[in-house]
Structure 1
Amino acid sequence: MRIYIFVCFFLQHFLSLAQDSTQYIIVGKIVLEGNKKTRPSIIFREIDIQEGDTIPKHKQKLILENIQNRLFNINLFIAVEPQWIEKDSLVSDLRILFKERFYFFAAPIFELADRNFNEWWYDRKRDLTRTNYGALLVLKNVRGRNEALEFNAQSGFIGRFRLSYKIPYLDKKQQYGLTLYFSYHQYKNLAFQTENNKLLFLRSENLLKERYNAEIRLRKRTGFYTFQNIDIRFMKNRIYDTIAILNPNYHLNNNPFQQFWMLGYDYIYDNRDFASYPLKGKRIFARFEKHGIFKADDLDLWFLKAAYQYHKPLSQKFYSSFALGGRLLYHQGQPYSYASAMGYGNDLVRGFQLYVVDGQHYLMAKSTLKYQLVNIIKNVRFMPLKQFKTIPLAIYPKIYADMGYASDNVFSKERNPLANQLLWGTGVGADFVTYYNSVFQIDLTYNKLGQFGLFFNFESSF
C-alpha cells in the first residue's frame, strides 16, 4: 500500500513538471535580417534576452513588443518586425526584420523662425521674411554604430552655423557616450522685450546680437531605460547699442556682453513605447543647470527643472496621457535673455499658444484622452525609394485640459500680466502620425481669457 501511494505521488509530481515545461520555451537562435549598415552590437544593446534563455510562453508577445519599441526608438529604422519562429515544442528562434532609414541626408532648410507655427500664422500675419533658409547635412550611422555628424548653415531671419558629432557608445559595455557641439548665431531680428505677454521684435539691417556656444556632453546609459548626462558649456553673447538702449536689462545693467560657463546634469527614465508619440509607458525627467561657475562670469543663476509623463491604454482603442512639470529658478540678477518661463516648446498651456509668460518658477499639468480612429500601413509600389514605400498613418481624435501657473517678481506686471495667476485651457482636436515619426496636430481651444482658437502643431504636446 505504501509503495502504491509513493508511486502515485511520484507520477503526479512528474506529470505536473511535464505540464509546467510546456508553459516555457527556450530561445534558439536570434537572427537579424535587413540591417545592412547597422552593426549587430547596436541592435543587441536593445534586446533583453539571449540565446539559450528560458522564458514563459505568455510573455512572448510582450517581449516582441518591448524589443520592437526599443529598436524603433533609436531612430535607425523605419520598420522593425520581430517574430518567433517555432523550431519544435520547446525551442523557438527570434527573427527580426529591419528596414533601415536614409543615413546620408542633405537637404535645403526652410523653417519658421517664430516660437511656433501659430505665432507666425496669426500674430506675424504669415510673413515669409520671418523664415530661415540654408542647408542641412546629416551623416548618421556612418560606421554602423549609430554615430551622427550634423552640419547646419543658414541665413534669413536668424543666421546660424552649427556643427555636432554624437558618439552613442565609447566603451565595450555600451554605457558611456559623448557629444561635441558648437554653434554661432547672428541676429538682425531680435525679441528685445515682452509687452502684454507678446514678444516685441526689432528688425535691422545691422547686427543686433551675436552668440557663441561650445559644449561637451558625457552620457551614461544604465540598463535599457535610464540615462544620465553631464555637460559643460561655454556661452558668449554680445548685443549691440540699439538693444542695450531699448532694454537695459537684456544683459543686466546695460551690459553689451555676457560671457559665462555652465554646468548641467540630466536624469532621464524613459520606457515609453514610442518617443515621438507615446501611447503607453512613462517618462521621468530632471535637469539641473548652474550658469556662472567662476567669479569672472557675467551670470549667476541656477535652476532645477522636472517633468513626469504617464501614458496608458484604457482599452483597445482609447488612450490617456498625463504630464506634470515645472521649474525652480534662483538668481543673483535675472536678465531678460533668461526671462522665459511658459510659452516655449511644450512648456505651455494649450489655448495660450500665442502668449509667453516670463518668470522664475512655474508648474504645469496636462491631460489628454484620445481614440484611435485609424491605424493603417500602405505599401506604395510606384515609389522608387524603398525607404518611402511603406506609408503608416494613424489618426487620434482627442479631448484635453491643461493648467499652469508662473511666478514672477522681477519683470513688470504691466508687461507680464499673465504671471502670478492660474491659467487653464481646454479643447478638442485630432493628431495625425505618419512618416518618420512625424506628428501633426489640430486643436480647437478655449482658455481662461474666454478666447477660442484654432491651432496647429508639428510635434507631440508632451
Structure 2
Amino acid sequence: MYNLKGLIVLFFCYSFSFLNSQSSSLIISDISCEGNDHTSESVIFREISISVGDTIKTEDLTKIFELTKFQILSTGLFNNVTLNVKNYDTKSQKGEVLITVEENWYLYPVPIFELADRNFSVWWNEQNKSLSRVNYGFRLSHFNLTGNKDPLKIKVHFGYTRKYELKYVFPYLSRDKKWGVGGSIFYSENREIAYTTKANKTQFAQLEDERKLLSRFRIGPEIKFRSDEHNFHALRLEYHHNKVDPYVSEVLNPDYFLNGKTDLQFFFLEYDFNHDKRSYRHYPLGGYLYFINLKKEGFGIFNDYDNLSITAGVEKHIPISQKLILSSRNKVKTNLIRNEVAFANNTGLGWDSDIVSGYELYVMDGSDFIISMNAIKFLVFDSNMNTVKWLPKQFRKMNMTLFLRSNFDLAYVNERKYKEGNHLNNRWIYGYGPAVDIIFFNNFIFSFEYSLNDIGESGLFFHNTIAF
C-alpha cells in the first residue's frame, strides 16, 4: 500500500517537473547591442517590440527573435542582424539578449547619371534611349548623419533637368524619441516640358532656342511624431512657386496652370499617418499596413491653386509557409474639392509605385483612382556572402535574396476634364505576369517583370529601388 502511494507521489512529481520543463521561459534581464559603431543604441531600441522584463516562452523565442531582426533591418541601417541569449540562468529563467549588427555604408558621394523619364522602360521604349534625356551632376546622401537615423540629401543636377535640392530630417529630437523635425528646399528648371497627355502617353515639347520652359521652387519644414514602434505621423508645410514660359500657356496648353496662367503660387499642407506592422518594410514578408494622407493645396495669401485630397490604403502580407507569401496592396484617392484641376497638378496612375503591371509606358491622369496590386512571392535564395577583402568592411559581406513573384493588378482612374483621346481613363484596367526580385544588402531592390495587360500588350520591364 505504501509502495503504491509512493509510486503515485513520484508519478505526480515527475509529471509536474516534466510540464514545468516544457513551459520554460526567458525573462529578459538586459538587452545590449554590439557592432553599432556609428548608430546610436537608442535607435535600435526604438524599433524593437521586446523590452527588459518581458517573459518569452522558449517555443516562441525563434519567432520573436526573427520578428525583431526584421524590425531592425527595416531601418535600412544594417546589412545583417543576429540575436542571441547569453548568461541564461536555468533556475531563475533570466537571461540577457545580445543584438549584433553589421552596419551598412551610409555616405554616398557619387556622380549622377540618371534618367529623366518616369522609369527605365519609358526611356528605353518611348524615348529611343536618348542620352539627351539624362541628368548628370553630383549627389551627396548620408542616410545616418549623426547616428540617429537622420538622412541628409544634397543634389545638384545638370543635363535634361537642372535641379538643386537640400533635405534633412532629424527623427529623434525629444528625449522620448517621439518627436522629430525636418526641412527641405528644392529648385528645378526644364528646357523640355511634358505639356499634355494623348492616348495616355505624355507629350513633350522643346524649343530650338532651348530656353527654359518650366521652373519649380518649393521650401518648407516638417514635424514628425511616432507614438510607438508602429504608429507614424508627419505634418508638412511648404510654399510652392511654379512658372512656365508664355509659349506653354499660349500655344501648347492653356490649361497647364488653367486659364492661360504662367505663374502658380500656393501654400501646401500635408498630413501623413501610417500604422505599420509589417515584418520587413522594404520587402514585406508578413504583417499589415494602414495609411492615410490628407493634402490641402492653396490657402492664405497664396491660393492660386485650391484643392483638398485624401488618399488611403491598406497592405496585407500573409506567409503561407516559410518561403511562400501572399501580398495585397490596395489604395484609393479622391479630390474632396471638385474644382477643375490644372494639368500640371492632375497626376493619377503611372508615377512612383502606383503602376499597374504591363502599363509602365502609360499614364492615367485623374482626380480619383483606385488600385489593387496583388502578388504571390516565393523565396528562392537568401544568403550572406563574402565579397573581397579590399572593400570597406560594410561591403565585405553581402546579403543577397532572390524571390520569384507572380502579379495581378487592377485599377480604375476617374477623369472629368482631360479624358478626350485617353482611352484608359474611366474604365477598369488590369495587368499580370511573372517577375524576379533581387535584393542586395537588404536595401537595393532590382525587379525584372514580364507583364501582360488587358489591351493585348506584353513586355519585359525593369524597376529598381533604394530602400533607405
TM bucket, shorter chain: over 0.9
Alignment counterpart, residue 123 of structure 2, candidates 120, 124, 135: 120
Q: Which runs of structure 2 are paired with 1:223-238 in the superposition (5 Å)?
A: 223-238=228-243
1:366 equivalent in alignment to 2:373: yes
Distance across 1 between alignment mates of 2:278 and 2:19: 37
Q: CA deviation at 1:56?
A: 2.1
Question: What one-letter code is carried by the residue in structure 1 that aligns with 2:136?
Answer: Y
Q: Is contact 2:286–2:318 with CA below 8 Å preserved after alignment?
A: yes
Amino acid in the other structure paired with 2:32: V
Alpha-carbon distance, 1:234 to partner: 0.7
Are 1:103 and 2:111 an aligned pair?
Answer: no
Q: What is the CA distance between 1:428 and its match in structure 2?
A: 1.5
Determine helix, strand or coil for the equivalent of 1:251.
coil
Aligned to 1:405: 412
Match of 1:39 in 2: 40
1:426 and 1:460 map into 2 onto residues whose CA distance is 24
The equivalent residue for 1:135 is 138
Distance in 2 of aligned mates of 1:350 and 1:58: 41
**In 1: Cα distance, 2:289 partner to 2:48 partner:** 20
| One-letter amino acid of the counterpart of residue 314, structure 2 | Y
Contact 1:374/1:394, CA 8 A, preserved across alignment:
yes
| Structure 1 counterpart SS, 2:248 | helix
Alignment partners' CA distance in 1, 2:349 and 2:124? 20
Q: What runs of 5+ residues in structure 1 fail to find an aligned partner?
A: none
- CA separation of 1:383 and 1:284: change in aligned 2, threshold 3 A: farther
**Aligned mate of 2:281, from 275, 282, 288:** 275
Match of 1:430 in 2: 436
- The CA deviation at 1:344 is 0.8
Distance 1:450 1:50, change over 3 A: closer
* Offset from partner CA, 1:370-397 (integer Å, 9 cap, x none): 2222222211243421111112222222
Could you tell which deviates more after superposition, 159-168 or 71-80? 71-80
Give how far 1:84 is off. 1.8
Q: TM-score, normalised by structure 2?
A: 0.92
Q: Distance in 1 between matches of 2:228 and 2:30?
A: 23
- The alignment partner of 2:132 has SS state of coil
Give the counterpart letter for 2:118 in structure 1.
R
Give the Å deviation of 1:12: 6.8
Partner of 1:355: 362
Name the counterpart of 1:289: 295
Aligned residue for 1:252, secondary structure, equals coil
Render the CA deviation track for 1:17-67: whole Å, top value 9, x for unaligned: 981795222223322111111122222222333334333222222221222
Q: 2:222 aligned with 1:221, yes or no?
A: no
Per-residue deviation at 1:140? 4.1
CA distance in 2, matches of 1:331, 1:268: 26
Q: Secondary structure at the match of 2:436?
A: strand
Q: Is the 8 A contact 2:419 2:425 kept in 1?
A: no
CA-CA distance at 1:295 after TM superposition: 5.8
**Residues in 1 aligned to 2:53 and 2:302: alpha-carbon distance in whole angstroms:** 60
Distance 1:75 1:398, change over 3 A: closer
Find the counterpart in structure 2 of residue 84 from structure 1.
85
Letter in 2 for 1:215: G
Q: Does the 8 Å contact 2:79/2:399 carry over to 1? A: no
| Cα-to-partner distance string for 1:151-193 (whole Å, 9 max, x where unaligned) | 1111111111001111111111111111111100111121011
Deviation at 1:145, TM superposition (A): 1.9
5+ residue gaps in structure 2?
A: none
Counterpart code for 1:260: F
Q: Corresponding residue for 1:53?
A: 54
The one-letter amino acid paired with 1:270 is D
Residue 164 (structure 1) aligned with residue 167 (structure 2)? yes
Q: Which amino acid aligns with 2:285?
A: L
Aligned counterpart for 1:458 among listed residues 454, 464, 468: 464
1:148 is aligned to: 151
What is the alpha-carbon distance in structure 2 between the residues aligned to residue 13 and residue 257 of structure 1?
85
Offset at residue 199 of structure 1 (A): 0.5
Matching residue's letter, 1:299: Y
CA offsets per residue over residues 125-170 of structure 1, 9 Å max, x none?
1111111111111234333222222211111111110011111111
How far, CA to CA, are the matches of 2:48 and 2:373 in structure 1? Answer: 33
Shift of 1:424: 1.0
Task: State the 1:452 CA deviation.
Answer: 1.6
Which moved further from structure 2: 141-150 or 247-256?
A: 141-150
Structure 2 counterpart of 1:356, one-letter code: V
Change over 3 Å in CA distance of 1:370–1:61 after alignment to 2: same
1:222-262: CA deviation from partner (whole Å, max 9, x where unpaired): 21111011111110001011111210000011010000001
Question: Are 1:210 and 2:215 an aligned pair?
Answer: yes
Change in Cα spacing, 1:370 to 1:76, as seen in structure 2 (3 Å) is: closer
Counterpart CA distance in 2 for 1:171 and 1:100 is 24
Task: Map 1:165-180 to 2 at 5 A.
Answer: 165-180=168-183
Which residue in 1 is equivalent to 2:312?
306
Q: Distance in 2 between matches of 1:129 and 1:73?
A: 37
Aligned residue among 316, 323, 326 for 1:317: 323
Task: Using the TM superposition, name which of 250-259 and 240-249 deviates more.
Answer: 240-249
* 8 Å contact from structure 1 (residues 280, 310) kept in 2: yes
Do 2:400 and 2:442's aligned partners in 1 also have CA atoms closer than 8 Å?
Answer: no
**Deviations 1:289-348 (Å, cap 9, x if unpaired)?**
011112641001111111211112111222111111111113422000012211111212
More displaced stretch, 144-153 vs 106-115: 144-153
One-letter amino acid matched to 1:125: N
* CA pair 146-452 structure 1, distance change in 2 beyond 3 A: closer
**Alpha-carbon distance in 2 for matches of 1:371, 1:300:** 45
Preserved contact between residue 276 and residue 438 of structure 1 (Cα < 8 Å): no
1:85 Cα deviation from its structure 2 partner: 2.3
TM-score, normalising length from structure 1? 0.93
Which letter maps to 1:370?
A: K
Q: Who is 2:449 aligned against?
A: 443
How many residues align? The count is 456
Moved more, 30-39 or 253-262: 30-39
Alpha-carbon contact 2:194-2:202 (below 8 Å) kept: yes
Secondary structure in 2 aligned to 1:254? coil
Check the 8 A contact 1:432/1:441 in 2, yes or no.
yes
